[in-house]
Amino acid sequence: MAKKMPKTDVVIVGVGWGGGIIASELTKKGLQVVGLEKGEERHTEDYYMVHDELRYAVRKELMQDLSKETLTFRSNEKMRALPMRQYGSFLLGEGLGGAGVHWNGQAFRFLPYDFEIRSKTIDRYGKDKIPADMTIQDWGITYDELEPYFDQFEKMAGISGEENPLGGKRSDKYPTGPMKHSKQMDLFKKATENLKYHPYTIPSANLSENYTNPDGIARSACQYCSFCERFGCEYGAKADPVVTVIPVANKTGKFDLRTHSWVRRIVHKGGKATGVLYTDTTTGEEIEQPADIVVVTSYVFNNVKLLLNSKVGRPYDPATGNGVIGKNYAYQVIKGAATGFFKDQEFNNFAGAGALGMAIDDFNGDNFDHSDLNFIHGGYLALTQPGARPIENNPIPKGSPTWGADFKKNSLEYVNKTLSVGAMGASMPYKHHYLDLDPTYKDTFGDPLIRMTFDFEDQDSELAKFTASKASEILKEMGADQIDSMDELGPYDITTYQSTHNTGGVIMGADPDSSAVNNYSQMWDMDNVFVVGASAFAHNSGYNPTGTVGAMAYRASEGILKYNKNGGMLV
Amino acid sequence: MADDNNQDQQEKDVSRRKFLRNSGIAVGGLAVGGVVGSLIPWGTTDNDRNQVKNQTANQKGKNYNHALMYLTKAEFQTVEAATERIFPKDDRGPGAKDLGVPYYIDHQLAGSYGFNARDYMEPPFYHGEKVQGYQGRLKRREIFRIGLRELDNQSQQKHKKKFKDLTDEQMDKMLQGFEGDKIKLSTVSPSGFFELLRSMTLEGLYSDPLYGGNINMDAWRMRNYPGDQMGYMDVIEKDFQKIEPSSLRDHM
Ligand SMILES: Cc1cc2nc3c(=O)[nH]c(=O)nc-3n(C[C@H](O)[C@H](O)[C@H](O)COP(=O)(O)OP(=O)(O)OC[C@H]3O[C@@H](n4cnc5c(N)ncnc54)[C@H](O)[C@@H]3O)c2cc1C
Ligand code: SF4
């Protein structure tokens, strides 16, 4: 028998960016909120020994402990899904702040095109442009509707940037100016301008200057320490939930944060959630937390896992295309990149910040003509400079030995003479890419793991080849003496890091038949459950996801407040 | 020597104070940012400074960290020979052996990494596709030990010698055989073992010296990597800068 806690207005499952934003917005308005986080509590003081590549970047100390929970993966339904036993392709957050603690801070907005991708593609190219099994759909919200929430997120986090000349319309400028420019970035800027493209400084959650946000949270400027990506910021300069929204929620006295609390079920009765069931991981005790409203913000994989294990919503059936929970899993295509070697120029490649870099959007979204191309969408091309760490960055020319005397010579020679131009390629959903429960493998509490069925498609290969050729062209203009570029994307491989930009599974839309949540992230099938995060993306754009996740979390907060007053479906 | 180090330490304290001033972080009312509090544990008190001095004195003698936790002495010698082939000494500087990489590997295998403590190791185990990653039931320390034995078995079979006694060319050939799965083993995947050996060599070279490798930060120095610095605010906009490395120990 589970111990029963007193009822609360709202219970939040997972306290990362999504959970943190919602906690701060709701408690500010007086709601009583319980935040359940399966990992540990964190503070900035935890990061004084953080400049340690081995411990954090290679061994992944801040990430989810896979011995307790992972997922299984297969490329297609004919294959046996097997557990991701070790980290590779993406890194899952765990603990207070979630992956928001060890993200880079590249904080983009998706394009207007993204939210109406199906209609806009058909309008411009006709229905035949979309392959039969590609399941793109409009999101039931437009960029203009979401714009105020983007603005809200950017002001809370203090995003440093300059206007993207090819982006959606902005109601206001970025709250802080762009990051400093390194030599490499200047070189990229000049080259892309020569090529008549439209470079801009990547919008960054690493503050370019000291900043106080509208909640009164003051943070200091980034020191370009280069231990950002995969690390926590010891200066509090990188916006993360622990230094921005969580203190705001705590200050209200309305936020009851419980770490080491692993949520296993949404409890429901007669089509309404009544609360959640969780396990205290320190004692093994089972506890029920009753609540009027349940908000699920536990990242893509656990969002889907929790709904399926709790039998909330209609599971997706890939054979018929019916059902929605698990549908439209998508990812990112970032291997379409190129590397340039410079004989006579040396750069401070060791220095940097998580979100330092320059990008162009000339080949993103529908900013260019796809009539003669075998793919839709695209991605931004960028030179980023998070700081090249020595274990994981040993650039050598393609085909040269990877160990031995020549490896040593090359890797020492090129380490500061190599620059890469990469692409953040969009990933389109397919009927046969989805998440469901694994029939064999279990987590540490005996619940089925989530199972991923996913592979790269022709669309992805074509897109990657295209962005790789553009990346080479830019490096050539930058003056590289030798350029190595990707020539074949190959199959999706879970063992090599690509990005932690997993999307879909609880997608947003205007129609309850084809989507799981409405544009307030409210579930069509259970109106007092809100599921927030990149799980709501019906496809993945050519950008990093968190700016859009943040905007959606602000909108969801508004919806929850409305629901708390009036109840019912918000749309 | 000890005095030199002490001077180093004093310089660092000065540069930290300068850093604080320049970054403008110590302005009033910045309650949430971490840096203000962060300065306290960084060797700014007398107590901390004395501690640093004592540690320095200790390190002048033997390095008591250099003893074996997991491997046998014979296995250790094989690791020395193999890692040195992966990153050999040359006119640019020391190789893996002199940089302490074999100690690094021994210590890692003895700890949580060797036991795959944070990996999913639940059954059932099935042979998987390459894109699904490692699916074996063996732990890294077991793979490593078996791999070392196989290296010796193979060299005995072919050359009637232990691996460590082969010529450089013979060692390279043998390692290439493992790397490319050109030999057949019934125990571990030869390329899997080689990849573990190679990746742990890189880790031992370039991780902070606190882990036992990268002795005296010489691997960092060789590639002009500055290690753990407070930040690069003053460097980021400039042309290439050579910076004397510093380590996490300087953070104590
Ligand atoms: C190395 C790295 C770099 C990145 N860089 C960028 C970037 O530059 N730009 C960008 O846009 N995005 C980036 N991302 C992605 C970004 O971190 C995520 O998009 C973002 O953190 C997602 O927020 P979230 O709140 O949805 O999930 P998370 O931050 O993952 O938070 C989910 C929380 O839920 C908790 N949880 C999970 N299951 C349970 C359960 N059963 N019970 C209780 N709690 C649970 C987890 O412990 C976690 O704390 C990066 C990610 C990584 C790993
Ligand atoms: S690079 Fe800047 S934001 Fe990132 S961890 Fe260092 S100081 Fe913090």
One-letter amino acid for residue A270 of the chain: G
A501 is catalytic: yes
Mean pLDDT of A381-396: 97
Contact A218 B29 (CB under 8 A): yes
The interface residues of chain A toward chain B in range 334-353, judged by CB-CB distance below 8 A, are 346-348, 350-352
Residue-level pLDDT at B26: 37
Query: Does the structure show a pLDDT above 90 at A57?
Result: yes
Q: Quick one: which atom of ligand 1 is closest to the CA of A545?
A: 11
Our answer on whether the CB atom of A354 is closer than 6 Å to any ligand 2 atom is yes
**Among B122, B181, B175, CA closest to A442:** B122
- Map B50-78 to HEC letters: HHHHHHHHHHHCCCCCCCCCCCCHHHHHH
Q: Supply the pLDDT for residue B60.
A: 55
pTM: 0.93
* Cα–Cα distance for residue pair A540/A329, rounded to 1 Å: 9
A440 close to B124: Cβ distance less than 8 angstroms: yes
d(CA A395, CA A419): 9
Mean of the per-residue pLDDT values for chain A?
98
User: Which among A226, A236, A440 has the least Cβ separation from residue B32?
Assistant: A236
Place of tokens 């806690």: A5
Q: Are A21 and A557 contacting, i.e. CB atoms less than 8 angstroms apart?
A: yes
Rounded to the nearest angstrom, the distance between the alpha carbon of A390 and the centre of ligand 1 is 26
Residue A83 has pLDDT above 70, yes or no: yes
Q: How far is CA B107 from CA A553, B6, B115, in A?
A: 45, 29, 12
Report the distance separating Cα A548 and Cα A503, nearest Å.
12
Cα–Cα dist A261/A37, whole Å = 5
Smallest CA–CA separation between B74 and chain A, in Å? 23
Q: Which of A281-285, A364-368, A451-455, B54-58 has the lowest mean pLDDT?
A: B54-58
Indicate the DSSP class of residue A14: -
Residue ranges of chain B with per-residue pLDDT less than 50: 1-59
A85 to B135: CB separation less than 8 angstroms, yes or no: yes
Task: Determine the straight-line distance between the first and last CA of chain B, rounded to whole angstroms.
Answer: 20
pLDDT grade for A571, boundaries at 50, 70 and 90 = very high
Mutate to test the pocket of ligand 2, among A179, A207, A223, A243 (most ligand atoms within 8 A of CB): A223
Cα distances (Å, whole numbers) of residue A58 to A53, A244, B56, B137, B144: 6, 27, 29, 22, 19
d(CA A87, CA A66): 8
Asked if B40 reaches chain A (Cβ–Cβ under 8 Å), the answer is no
pLDDT at A38: 98
Asked whether the ipTM of the predicted complex exceeds the cut of 0.90, the reply is yes
Using alpha carbons, select from B225, B195, B228, B222 the residue that is nearest to residue B210.
B228
| Ligand 2 nearest-atom number relative to CA A223 | 7
CB pairs under 8 A between A and B: 223
In the 3-class helix/strand/coil scheme, how is A365-418 assigned residue by residue?
A: CCCCCCCCCCCCCCEEEEEECCCCCCCCCCCCCCCCCCCCHHHHHHHHHHCCCE
Q: How many angstroms separate the Cα of B243 from the Cα of each of A345, A412, B222, B238? A: 17, 16, 12, 13
User: In this predicted model, what pLDDT tens digit does every residue of A510-544 receive, in sequence order?
Assistant: 999 999 999 999 999 999 999 999 999 999 999 99
The pLDDT of residue A196 = 98
Percent of chain A past pLDDT 90, that is, above it, reads: 100
User: Average pLDDT of A146-156?
Assistant: 98
Per CB-CB distance under 8 Å, the chain B contacts of A82 are 126, 128, 132, 135
Does residue A409 register a pLDDT over 70?
yes
Q: Do B33 and A237 touch (CB under 8 A)?
A: yes
Give me the pLDDT at residue B53, please.
44
Q: How far is CA A330 from CA A335, A490, B219, in A?
A: 15, 17, 40
The predicted-structure confidence for A214-257, as pLDDT tens digits, reads as follows 999 999 999 999 999 999 999 999 999 999 999 999 999 999 99
Shortest Cα–Cα distance, B197 to chain A (Å): 11
- Residue to test with chain B: of A348, A384, A444, most B Cβ within 10 A: A348
From residue B222, give the alpha-carbon distance in Å to each of A94, A336, B185. 36, 31, 37
- B76 CA: distance to closest CA in chain A (Å): 19
Interface residue of A220, A345, A415, A447 to substitute, partner B, most B CBs within 10 Å: A220
How many Cβ atoms from other residues are within 10 Å of residue B47's Cβ?
Answer: 9
Over 70: is that where the pLDDT of A86 sits? yes
Q: Which two tokens stand for residue B129?
A: 């596709």
Side chain identity at residue A72, one-letter code: T
Neighbouring CB atoms inside 10 A of A369's CB total 9
Q: Which residues touch A185 (CB under 8 Å, ≥6 apart)?
A: A201, A356, A357, A358, A383, A385
pLDDT at B29: 33
